[in-house]
Amino acid sequence: MTRSVLGGLMLLAMLVCGGASAQSFETQPYEMVRTLQELQGQVAEGNSQAVAAQRVLLLDMDARFTRLPAEAWQDPRNARAAIIHVLSGGHPAVLRRLTSLSPAPAVEPALLQAALAYVEGRESDVVVALEGVDIAALPPALGGHVALIKAAAILREDPQAALEALTLARLLMPGSLVEEAALRREIFVSGKVGDIERFQSLAIRYLRRYRDSIYAGDFRRRFALSLDALGFGRNAEKFALIEGLLMEFDADTRRELYLRLARTGLLNGERLVVDKASAEGLKLAIDGSHEEMLFKLYRAGSLLEIENIKVTRDMLWSIDKDLLTAEERELMRAIFAVVNSVRHFPTPPGHVIGEMDVYETLLAPKSADWVRPGMTEVEDLIEKTNAQIQKVGG
């Protein structure tokens, strides 16, 4: 942690403990904002203590900024700091007061209006206020925040322009919480417009730079939703594109994503997706866990050809149905019904067709613990190898 951040935390500790009053420090608004931004940089790196410190600092800034005289805001650095403060989570009352001061603060009125409109939820007013503003020409610390709110305001109407604004935001403030937020949002806007290449490259960048961010959980949640929206589980060719990116995630997240992709693939009849996702997921699943049972179930559902029927049977036998939900058991019944039909093909007994309870009466091995998904495949390979050896020897 940098010296200035430590200094900021010490100041906050003194304020919280009552060791000094805010008025006893001649700290300028722009200096407090610098400390705030350094704390936010720590938040982007995953420092939970910085989150608490940031909250305390914002409250102190709210109190101080609403008491400062109009003259204090004649310094452009302070006026810009007030906007950054509110766009970083400060109270809108700060900007409401500044818009009523005489003389007016030394900052472009449009920026005050846009920031206030944004925190009050008036997105259309944000767009109007920023029409003539060259964000790239603003000081980076302010421009990054303004680019972020512009992107949010125009996203629904013009996602491509929102992407440009988000790119500008992260370029203006590299290594900051603004860059983290802009990058996170740009990833999902890329997914929304179907730009898979951009989606992939930005996701990798986020994972390599901000995987420990306090907001990384939100990233993972929305990433999973984007996999569905972009159809990675419904198309084998698209799934192949995402395999490298999935390796950037930690093992727990990869397991969850593979499970989601395997289920989507099964429901959409994409056997190759199910086969690959379940095979990778089984490597990560804990033995005897609910997730392992689901991977086996989905994999069994994708291996219903006559040549794979022994593999499917052994895999189904190895599933502990007591770990499945009622809905998952129904899926298992459906797969067993298909297996029974294939086993008795082409003339299955009359009592099998349409009888879902056949699954309940199938005889399982005395002990299913020994059954593993790859065992039958290995047996088949051994048989084929022996056949080849005998053919050559003969």
Render each residue's pLDDT in the chain as its tens digit; 394 residues. 444 444 445 445 344 433 333 343 478 999 999 999 999 999 999 998 999 999 999 999 999 999 999 999 999 999 999 999 999 999 999 999 999 998 999 999 999 999 999 999 999 999 999 998 999 999 999 999 999 999 999 999 999 999 999 999 999 999 999 999 999 999 999 988 888 889 999 999 999 999 999 999 999 988 888 888 888 888 888 888 888 889 999 999 999 999 999 999 988 888 889 989 999 999 999 999 999 999 999 988 888 776 667 778 888 888 998 999 999 999 988 888 887 776 544 454 555 544 444 444 444 555 555 555 555 566 667 777 777 777 766 5
Question: Reduced to 3 states, what is the DSSP secondary structure of residue 250?
Answer: coil
Q: How far apart are CA 130 and CA 117, in angstroms?
A: 11
Q: How far apart are CA 372 and CA 376, in angstroms?
A: 8
**Contact in structure between 274 and 335 (CB atoms under 8 Å):** no
84-100 per-position pLDDT tens digit? 999 999 999 999 999 99
In Å, how far from its chain's centre is CA 225? Answer: 8
- Max CA separation in the chain (angstroms): 104
CA dihedral 123, 129, 130, 133 (to 10 degrees): -170
Q: What are phi and psi of 363, to 5 degrees?
A: -85, 120
Residue 226 pLDDT: 86
Q: Which of 150, 146, 249 is nearest to 204 (CA)?
A: 249
* Domain layout of the chain by residue ranges: 1-107, 127-219
333-390 per-position pLDDT tens digit? 888 888 777 654 445 455 554 444 444 444 455 555 555 555 556 666 777 777 777 7
296-332 per-position pLDDT tens digit? 999 888 887 766 677 788 888 889 989 999 999 999 8
Residue 138 pLDDT: 95
Q: How far apart are CA 127 and CA 117, in angstroms?
A: 9
Exposure b/e, 263-278, CB count within 10 A at least 16 = b: bbbbeeebbebbbbbb
Q: Long-range contacts made by residues 166-170, C-beta under 8 angstroms, separation at least 24?
A: 168/135, 168/136, 168/143, 169/143, 169/144, 169/145, 170/144
Mention every residue, 6+ apart, whose C-beta is less than 8 A from residue 81. 28, 29, 30, 32, 33
Q: How far apart are CA 359 and CA 337, in angstroms?
A: 7
Residue 394 pLDDT: 56
Residue 367 pLDDT: 59
**Contact in structure between 144 and 169 (CB atoms under 8 Å):** yes
Tokens 């058991």 correspond to what residue? 329
